[in-house]
Amino acid sequence: MPRQLELQSVSVNYGDVVAAKDISFGLGAGEIGCLLGPSGCGKTTLLRAIAGFEPVSAGSISLHGELISSPSHNVPPEQRRVGMVFQDFALFPHLSIEDNVGFGLRTLARRERRRRVEELLELVGLGDFHARFPHELSGGQQQRVALARALAPEPEIILLDEPFSSLDSALRETLAVEVRALLKARNVTAVLVTHDQHEAFAMADSITLLNEGEIVQSDSAYNLYHHPRTRFAAAFIGDGALLTLTAADDKQWLPEIGLSPDSETGHPEPGALVQVLVRPEDVVYDPQSRVQLTVLRRAFRGAEFLYTLALPDGQQVQCLASSQVDVATGEALPVRFNQRHIVLL
Ligand SMILES: Nc1ncnc2c1ncn2[C@@H]1O[C@H](COP(=O)(O)OP(=O)(O)OP(=O)(O)O)[C@@H](O)[C@H]1O
């Protein structure tokens, strides 16, 4: 059975600028995918190509098995059955919430249209707001109306371009979780574009990390965080220090941090340089540990201190420790490295 959305080796150029290069990914029905990456990496370009606003210069895009984009074939946007929610989600200010949601349903009989609008407003938790106008709603409520409006014509797929970026960060994450539940409840396939990993983690089943128009890693959120395959992925996702260390011998090959080889880490040759990604939560305060690192800085985070620690060679790692662990700058903090979570690159 064809997948709901399939991009095969898609490239998009703007004149000489290659905005997206050789991009392949697909989504099954009801799956939520995310294009994640820094500004200018080509996320919006790909979304616009899926919507039909940008022609592809190579490769193909299919929706439910039907070719919609290739260099020689371009189904116009209005015939694609693609719903969109954009960053500025402009609702029509002079239309009521009900009329905003029903906007794409003008061909339906009035009763049917009304039923569909009511159902969608209930779904997004705004059943009582149908007669209000956009300016009478909060930012989060307006965004939910925009989603209801995009879902109303029952598109094959919905595209969300930084849909929560105008909201504050606490609301953003809550809404991302809510919207995920809404999409899942209706088995809607969706592509989310964001540069915010928390949003991506909260919403997506699979994440395609992009950099400079190319795919860095397509994976689950868990794997991107715990098993990044490149330096870029390691640095972009989460906090962490990338250490360069020398393997010492077979038994204890990174003595600076008390690491020893195991089946996961393998056995690099003694003397080999090894790159290790260490997350702050994997450097654990342990009064029994022989590894004692000097405290360079510490920042109070309420329940925790975030310590910045120096290895003997000057490289730095961070450690999250309970704020009851009160060690001053310049003193030594005994720590253990949680080896299970340390990533070797
Ligand atoms: N109309 C255009 N003409 C020429 N170059 C463009 C055009 N639109 C985008 N670009 C370039 O293509 C690249 C990808 O842009 P795109 O907007 O897809 O990035 P993005 O990842 O969505 O970035 P952001 O997160 O900042 O929105 C950038 O280098 C950008 O400067």
Residues ≥6 apart with Cβ < 8 Å to 10:
20, 22, 23, 24, 46, 49, 56, 58, 59, 60, 61, 69
SS (H, E, C) the chain: CCCCEEEEEEEEEECCEEEEEEEEEEECCCCEEEEECCCCCCHHHHHHHHHCCCCCCEEEEEECCEEEEECCEECCHHHCCEEEECCCCCCCCCCCHHHHHCHHHCCCCHHHHHHHHHHHHHHCCCHHHCCCCHHHCCHHHHHHHHHHHHHCCCCCEEEEECCCCCCCHHHHHHHHHHHHHHHHHCCCEEEEEECCHHHHHHHCCEEEEEECCEEEEEECHHHHHHCCCCHHHHHHCCCCEEEEEECCCCCCCEHHHCECCCCCCCCCCCCCEEEEEECHHHEEECCCCCCEEEEEEEEECCCEEEEEEECCCCCEEEEEEECCCCCCCCCEEEEEECHHHCEEC
Has residue 142 got a pLDDT over 70? yes
pTM value > 0.90: no
Q: Give residue 268's pLDDT band: very low, low, confident or very high (50, 70, 90).
A: confident
The mean per-residue pLDDT over the stretch 279-287 comes to 91
Q: Report pLDDT digits (tens) over 13-32.
A: 999 999 999 999 999 999 99
Q: Report pLDDT digits (tens) over 73-100.
A: 999 998 998 998 887 667 899 999 999 9
Does the CB atom of residue 21 touch ligand 1 within 6 A? no
Q: How remote is the CA of residue 46 from the centroid of ligand 1, in Å?
A: 10
Lowest mean pLDDT among 192-206, 248-262, 321-335: 248-262
Does the CB atom of residue 45 touch ligand 1 within 6 A? yes
Has residue 334 got a pLDDT over 80? yes
Has residue 327 got a pLDDT over 90? yes
pLDDT at 264: 67
| Nearest by Cα to 284 from 247, 337, 210, 330 | 337
- The residue whose CA is least distant from atom 17 of ligand 1 is 44
pLDDT at 253: 67
Domain borders along the chain are: 5-235, 239-344
Does the CB atom of residue 44 touch ligand 1 within 6 A? yes
Has residue 141 got a pLDDT over 80? yes
CATH number of 5-235: 3.40.50.300
Does the CB atom of residue 17 touch ligand 1 within 6 A? yes
> Ranked by mean pLDDT, which of 162-171, 172-181, 227-236 comes out on top?
227-236
Domain made up of 239-344: CATH architecture: Beta Barrel (2.40)
Has residue 222 got a pLDDT over 70? yes
Does the CB atom of residue 14 touch ligand 1 within 6 A? yes
Does the ipTM exceed 0.90? yes
Q: Which atom of ligand 1 is nearest to the CA of 46?
A: 18
The mean per-residue pLDDT over the stretch 187-191 comes to 95
Q: Tell me the average pLDDT of the chain.
A: 89
Q: Report pLDDT digits (tens) over 32-46.
A: 999 999 999 999 999
Does the CB atom of residue 92 touch ligand 1 within 6 A? no
pLDDT at 19: 96
| Nearest by Cα to 183 from 167, 163, 212 | 163
Residues ≥6 apart with Cβ < 8 Å to 141:
126, 129
Does the CB atom of residue 53 touch ligand 1 within 6 A? no
Query: 136 or 342: which carries more pLDDT confidence?
Result: 136
User: Helix crossing, 169-185 with 139-151: angle to 10°?
Assistant: 20
The mean per-residue pLDDT over the stretch 161-179 comes to 82
